[in-house]
Amino acid sequence: MSLQISDISKSFKDLKALKHISLEVRENELFGLIGPDGAGKTTLFRILASLLLPDEGQANVAGFDVIKDYKQLRKNIGYMPGKFSLYQDLTVEENLNFFATIFNSSIEENYDLIKDIYVQIEPFKKRKAGDLSGGMKQKLALSCALIHKPKVLFLDEPTTGVDPVSRNEFWGMLKKLQKKGITIFVSTPYMDEAALCDRIAFINQGEILQVDTPSAIVKNFAKQVLNIQTPSIYKALRVLGSYQHTHSIYPFGESLHYMDSRKDFDWNEVLNHLRNEKIKDVEGELISPEIEDVFMELSRN
Amino acid sequence: MKIVFIIIRKEFKQIFRNKAMLPIIFVLPLLQLIILSNAATYEVDNIQVAYIDYDKSLSSRKLIEHIKGSSYFENPVYFESPALAEEAILKDKVDLVLEIPNHFEKDIQNASHPRVAVRINAIDGATAGVQNVYIQKIISNFNKTIQLESYNPAQQSLNYSSIESVTSFWYNQNLNYKTLMVPGILVLIITMLTLFLSSMNIVREKEIGTLEQINVTPIKKWQFIVGKLFPFWMIGLVLLSIGLLIAKLVFNTPMLGSTLLIYAYTSLYLLVILGMGLFISNFTDTQQQAMFIAWFFVVIFILMSGLFTPIESMPVWAQNLTQLNPVAYFVEIMRMIMLKGSTFKDTGVIFMKTFIYALVMNFLAVWSYQKKN
């Protein structure tokens, strides 16, 4: 096991940020922690990175206890916080050099690990970190987190605020790093990124809802999902909100996702109900549920 | 040690890269030194006297001549009536009104206690006090001259003998206020700058989130603290050097004692201030908060340092409080060494107190740093 979390709790005054979290991440796994803002993701990351003490419970990262062996632990993990936190007034090269040196390493020593990422920002190595674009800042932060060849890499919402193309590229880089033997623990509020992980854990309001591979999570989902398209989404949402058989209804991109409270149901009946309520151009089809549907369902309870 | 060195190098890079900060650190303080030392003096001169002369005699004119002759006074202006003179005081055109009554000369000749009235604008009490001393001195000088003039050997027995005091001002013979102010203001500048910079510096890492990144590295806390504070210790000493140079070249301030002793004390003193800066930064989350707290202390330290008001004239509780004021020690020791030529033997007690202060302050700072982070 690369990561063992058992019964971790943490409160901030009245707010219970984490409630008895237990989780295991295998060696060399790309593990995703999926949850909305305020679910407790960052708190868990800070505990695992030895920046915060849990109120209860134990955690073990790469064989080191986060409380007792924090000194050893820090040598063996890479942590990239959600907020860009390198020195903005130092250049790309100086930042990288600084972090390499304080880990008693050098850029040359682990160059092959960061090469794929660093070559993309190397043309700008004399530029101050503060003057980089968002995507390049992220690459620099990742390089700095990797420069000491950590066993476990913690990435706290690395793609928040990054454009879709760069996000794709970023996940490509993570896959490559995984092949080099690094265990990656990544959090994200984007459900579409969950499918790219080996296994995921849903977290909401400080509780782990489910842990499994993305495909198994979708496969084991019992409900059928009806995808409804109409130009008047808001009206349809209101109508189905007070429909007697509605189990759940929520906007999903440009359409609505509907789940019925009955085990078997005729989806045409639902569409007709909408049409009877004078909603124009209603179309719909049954689709296989996506990860977001599962999460919406889990977080309802 | 290598890690400490790396942090120090990083810190200096950041300081020297900050184009706005460099002049703030090196140019502004020295401008302050030059401007304040010239401007902040206790000297009271250019006193404007108005006089009302009812007597219009030789003696009254002689008294006015005495005032004219003094370098502290402007040429006295004549007013017809006390009302007009009072109006001039009200309009701030005149500082002092001298009223010479009728029979002034006659009273002198008859030796029957001649009197003059002096009215002083005392909005600023300290200045008014000094003006009073000056005018008294002039009147008593005048007194002496007329006694000499009316000296009559036959009346010798009537002459009472008076005690005359002859004052000499030690360590600052000409009562040159710049000599007094320059070492003091240099102390203020060093204190302000190092306290502000050090307290804001660590908070800044908190504010922009880099402290968290540092905390997940194997950097030890002492390495980080030493690495962060050492540059400001250096800057403090560099400022001292430039300041002493200006004191010598621009103000020609004497340096009777050992310069080395001043450096030794400053090195120790800066530890107190840097510890204080670290302490402040541990209890604040933003540079703004740190700045305000540092200001709070600096204002108290400066006003109670003995630089602007003598510590001896403060109430006892305030005097006891200045025992905790590092600036007071520094001001005292600078004056002792520069103006009096005190040696380590004379200043040993202050050295000891500062040393203890530095120990306590840094212990508190490191302790709270560990607790908070």
The answer to whether the Cβ–Cβ distance between A85 and B213 falls below 8 Å is yes
Tokens of A202: 């849903």
Residue A252 and residue A182 in one domain:
no
- Residue B292: the pLDDT is 94
Question: In whole numbers, what is the pLDDT of chain B averaged over residues?
Answer: 86
Kindly tell me if the per-residue pLDDT of B87 is higher than 50.
yes
How many domains, chain A? Answer: 2
Strands A199-204 and A30-34: parallel
Residue A129 and residue A192 in one domain:
yes
The last residue of one of the domains, among A197, A213, A229, is A213
Residue A257 and residue A114 in one domain:
no
CB of A96 closer than 8 Å to CB of A111 = no
Contacts with B342 (C-beta within 8 Å, 6 or more apart), sequence order: B257, B333, B336
CA distance B227 to chain A (A): 12
Kindly tell me if the per-residue pLDDT of B114 is higher than 50.
yes
The answer to whether the Cβ–Cβ distance between B13 and A99 falls below 8 Å is no
Task: Please state the rounded mean pLDDT for residues A39-47.
Answer: 92
For residue A214, which phi and psi values (nearest 5 degrees)?
-60, -40
Strands A77-80 and A152-156: parallel
The last residue of one of the domains, among A187, A213, A239, is A213
* Distance in angstroms (rounded) separating the CA atoms of residues A265 and A259: 10
List CB contacts (< 8 A) between B218 and chain A. 71, 74-75, 102-104
Strands B117-120 and B96-100: antiparallel
Task: Please state the rounded mean pLDDT for residues B248-262.
Answer: 90
- Residue A143: the pLDDT is 93
Residue A252 and residue A274 in one domain:
yes
- Residue B371: the pLDDT is 63
- Residue B150: the pLDDT is 67
- Residue B124: the pLDDT is 82
Residue A144 — pLDDT band, cuts 50, 70, 90?
very high
Residue A187 and residue A225 in one domain:
no
- Residue B220: the pLDDT is 86
CATH of the domain at A203: 3.40.50.300
E strands of chain B, at which residues?
49-53, 77-78, 96-100, 117-120
Kindly tell me if the per-residue pLDDT of B24 is higher than 90.
no
Closest Cβ opposite residue A51 in set B10, B14, B212: B212
* Distance in angstroms (rounded) separating the CA atoms of residues B3 and A103: 9
Q: A177-186, B76-85, B267-276: which has the minimum mean pLDDT?
A: B76-85
CA distance B366 to chain A (A): 18
In order of A130, A132, A142, B98, the CA distances from A86 in angstroms are: 9, 12, 11, 72
Could you tell me what percent of chain B has a pLDDT over 70? 92
The domain containing residue A83 runs over which residues?
3-213
Residue A105 and residue A171 in one domain:
yes
Residue A11 and residue A111 in one domain:
yes
* Distance in angstroms (rounded) separating the CA atoms of residues B326 and B188: 11
Residue A225 and residue A201 in one domain:
no
Each residue of A219-276: pLDDT tens digit?
A: 888 888 999 998 888 888 888 888 888 899 999 888 999 998 888 888 888 888 888 8
Range picked from A28-42, B260-274, B318-332 for highest mean pLDDT: B260-274
Could you tell me what percent of chain B has a pLDDT over 90? 31
CA distance B192 to chain A (A): 25
CA distance A72 to chain B (A): 8
For residue A281, which phi and psi values (nearest 5 degrees)?
50, 50
| Residue B235 CB-half CA count within 13 A | 30
Q: Name all domains of chain B by residue range, CATH numbers in brackets.
A: 2-40+174-372 (no CATH), 49-158 (3.40.1710.10)
Residue A226 and residue A207 in one domain:
no
- Residue B311: the pLDDT is 84
- Residue B172: the pLDDT is 66
**Order of all β-strands in the sheet with A56-61:** A15-25, A3-12, A56-61, A64-65
End-to-end CA distance of chain A: 31
**Can you name the residues that pair with A30 across neighbouring β-strands?**
A184
- Residue A151: the pLDDT is 93
Task: Please state the rounded mean pLDDT for residues B359-367.
Answer: 92
**Can you name the residues that pair with A284 across neighbouring β-strands?**
A228
CB of B224 closer than 8 Å to CB of B7 = yes
* Distance in angstroms (rounded) separating the CA atoms of residues B258 and B256: 7
Task: Please state the rounded mean pLDDT for residues B299-319.
Answer: 87
Tokens of B194: 């190092």
User: CB of B10 within 8 Å of any CB in chain A?
Assistant: yes
Each residue of B257-279: pLDDT tens digit?
A: 999 999 999 999 999 999 999 99
Task: Please state the rounded mean pLDDT for residues B275-294.
Answer: 92
Kindly tell me if the per-residue pLDDT of B357 is higher than 90.
yes
List CB contacts (< 8 A) between A74 and chain B. 216-218
CB of A65 closer than 8 Å to CB of A77 = no
Residue A199 and residue A236 in one domain:
no
Each residue of B150-198: pLDDT tens digit?
A: 665 555 545 555 666 677 777 766 667 777 788 888 999 999 999 999 9
- Residue B157: the pLDDT is 47
Task: Please state the rounded mean pLDDT for residues B285-293.
Answer: 92
Kindly tell me if the per-residue pLDDT of B239 is higher than 50.
yes
Closest Cβ opposite residue B218 in set A71, A89, A98: A71
Residue A119 and residue A62 in one domain:
yes
CATH of the domain at A270: 3.30.70.100
The last residue of one of the domains, among A151, A180, A213, is A213
Kindly tell me if the per-residue pLDDT of A192 is higher than 60.
yes
Residue A111 and residue A179 in one domain:
yes
The answer to whether the Cβ–Cβ distance between A98 and B213 falls below 8 Å is no
> H-type helices in B40-176, by residue range?
58-69, 82-90, 104-109, 125-149
Question: In whole numbers, what is the pLDDT of chain A averaged over residues?
Answer: 90
